[in-house]
Amino acid sequence: MAMNLTQKILRAHLVEGELIPGGEIGLRIDQTLLQDATGTLAMLEFEAIGINRVRAELAAQYVDHNTLQTDNKNADDHRFLQTAAARYGVHFSSPGNGVSHQVHMERFGAPGKIILGADSHTPGAAGVSMLGIGAGGLDVALAMAGYPYYVVCPLVLGIRLTGRLPDWLSAKDVILEMLRRHGVKGCVGKIVEYYGPGVKNLSATDRETIGNMGTELGATSSIFPSDKNTRAYLEAQGRGNAWSELSADRGAAYDEHDEINLSALEPLIACPSSPGNVVPVREVAGIRVDQVIVGSSVNSSFRDLMVVARIMEGRHAGPATSLNINPGSRQVLENIAAKGGVISLLTAGARIHEPGCLGCIGMGQAPGTGQVSLRTFPRNFLGRSGTKDDMVYLCSPETAAASALKGIITDPRGLGSEMKYPRIRDPKRYIIDEESIIRPSEALRNTEVIRGPNIKPLPELAPLPSEISAEVALKVGDNISTDTIMPAGNRILPLRSNIEAISEFIFSQIDPDFSRECREKGATVVVGGENYGQGSSREHAALAPRYLGVCAKIVKSFARIHKANLCNFGILPLTFRNPEDYQLAHKGSKVVLPDIRERIRRGEREIPAEVDGVTIMTILDVSDRQRKHLLAGGTLNFVRTELEGQAHG
């Protein structure tokens, strides 16, 4: 039977279950990815499992988020990660070497493999036809220990691409078109597979941009065929031997289908404060722009920075507009320097920052009060920039450069009367720099793991009680992101390895008293709307609430990664069977889940809940495996008990 590319890759890695959409499957993971904002906790979890050496084919730890060193915490965590990586057999990419997705694609990515990353933008691996899946750190720690990764078998959305992008448009406009059509939850439970004659007109780094921001669609992952463009990129990286040709079989079917004519697209922009709030640039043209940032985890490749450099060449950013460049990697910076791009950017007034995530995760680069910021980043959730009432737009490098020149949001096609569009060709051979990656070796196996004072032990989590009686601590609406649940920024990110300290900031943007009230009440519940937990893979948005006593979340629907993280840390992920019952619960409502332990043990899917004395029905849509983990009080409890049983067996 003809298979699409997604089915081929999943089948080659299937170790449990069947490829039937909706059922749970277990996948063998080839490679794992950690970054420092999630990696400290994930490394502690790996240690807690009790395995003394990584069992995945390749594991990598990047330092790209917490690079702003305002005190000892980040530097201490970096040393912990470096020494732990040496001890356990993990590749370590030093601070300043670049963003995990960009560097991994350059140095390690390979067609047909599956990479599991503790970063929601891991699907950027689609750039080299690798199936990248974002997950919580505990799931990645388990994959590092050789365990399968479990996920609901996705539907496959086939996107047939035709045509070629016109001048002044780029891959960012393709993914913004997808977001315009499908929104931020339209691809939940799906893998997006791109195919068709238009694919050959997109480079590997174009495909990374589209795959990276597929996360904003809610997609499990995205994938492109491995073709001549993939081969050219890998050969340019000196890794041509990693290439293999991959594509869907002729006549392969898809569960859902859409088609995009690249030739018919126009420049698009996501308005504040959602990646799904997409309109044509021409509709918002003329709005004053105070800040422009190009780069970070997406649109930070050689091509994207060079197109900005060529547009800005001999010109200068507007006098009231700050132009910032965040290279994706040290290699990217070295290569644009070799082609004269750095001089063009500097003379245009650009501020060139170290390779890293920086402003994308709220680590510096916050805009001023009432200022408009245009960014080529993947997300613009309210307050994510570090400024509470920010006005952040997401756009292509071309739109960003044109707007920086004019000082207002500008359709880049208007520059066509002033200059020829600079079509950028990737180098046939990149300048390659691997000196900032420390590779595992036998000589490093005895490295002492150094723990600074900010590294705290994981909290102990109690098993699920026989009955839950709790109070609603907070009620929120639709599309609540993990940034809202667990904010980022330079004040909070350094606390990622200290659950007690970081828990003080849970929901602080909505209710500054949330942490204190949870501690006073004991057992609590959070009530929410649709697509609860969208965005980042940060498992702190599940573990820190559990530490505070949150025992259940009752919402209309969950985002995939956050729901899995809730199960991992023993919080019941319940949904309203009747969405109208959302209206019955309020802050302070009393919620009782009678006989909850026995109901979960029996495998019941419909779970009655008493809300202020009124019985409603909720749904617990989890696998048998996740039920066992919930009963144990979390995945780590279950796995450790299982390993102890094997040791004594």
All structural domains of the chain, each given as residue ranges with its CATH number in brackets, are 5-264 (3.30.499.10), 268-417 (3.30.499.10), 468-648 (3.20.19.10)
The percent of residues above 90 in pLDDT, for the chain, comes to 90
pLDDT tens digits, one per residue of 331-343: 999 999 999 999 9
**Position 643 confidence tier, pLDDT thresholds 50, 70, 90:** confident
Sheet holding 437-438, edge to edge: 131-134, 114-117, 31-35, 58-62, 91-93, 437-438
Instruction: Count the neighbouring beta carbons within 10 Å of the beta carbon of residue 507.
Output: 26
Q: Is the pLDDT of residue 648 over 80?
A: no
Under 8 Å between Cβ of 105 and 212: no
Q: Is the pLDDT of residue 644 over 80?
A: no
- The H or E element containing residue 236 is helix 228-236
pLDDT tens digits, one per residue of 210-239: 999 999 999 999 999 999 999 999 999 999
Q: Report, as an integer, the average pLDDT of 356-366.
A: 87
Nearest 10 degrees: Cα torsion 89, 95, 98, 99: 70
Q: Could you give the residue ranges of the DSSP H alpha helices within 89-182?
A: 100-107, 137-144, 171-182
Beta pairing partners, 157: 192, 256
The pLDDT of residue 649: 62
- Locus of tokens 């035709």: 162
Q: Report, as an integer, the average pLDDT of 458-486.
A: 95
| Range of lowest pLDDT (30-34, 72-76, 156-160, 372-376) | 72-76
Q: Is the pLDDT of residue 492 over 90?
A: no
d(CA 486, CA 583): 25
Tell me which amino acid residue 86 is: A
**Position 185 confidence tier, pLDDT thresholds 50, 70, 90:** very high
- For the packed helices 540-548 and 514-521, what is the interaxial angle rounded to 10 degrees? 50
The pLDDT of residue 69: 85
Strand, helix or coil at 389?
Answer: coil
pLDDT tens digits, one per residue of 513-545: 999 999 999 999 999 999 999 988 889 999 999
Beta pairing partners, 116: 32, 133
- DSSP code of 299? S
Average pLDDT of the chain to the nearest whole number: 95
pLDDT tens digits, one per residue of 127-148: 999 999 999 999 999 999 999 9
d(CA 80, CA 40): 8
Q: Is the pLDDT of residue 637 over 90?
A: yes
Whether the model clears a pTM of 0.85, i.e. scores above it, the answer is yes
Under 8 Å between Cβ of 455 and 497: yes
- State residue 504 phi and psi, 5-degree precision: -65, -20
The pLDDT of residue 489: 82
pLDDT tens digits, one per residue of 151-174: 999 999 999 999 999 999 999 999
The pLDDT of residue 647: 67
pLDDT tens digits, one per residue of 425-470: 999 999 998 999 999 999 999 999 999 998 998 999 999 999 999 9
**Position 319 confidence tier, pLDDT thresholds 50, 70, 90:** very high
Q: Which two tokens stand for residue 365?
A: 């680069």
Q: Is the pLDDT of residue 594 over 70?
A: yes
d(CA 606, CA 577): 8
d(CA 58, CA 76): 25
Sheet holding 190-195, edge to edge: 221-223, 190-195, 155-162, 256-261
d(CA 193, CA 174): 14
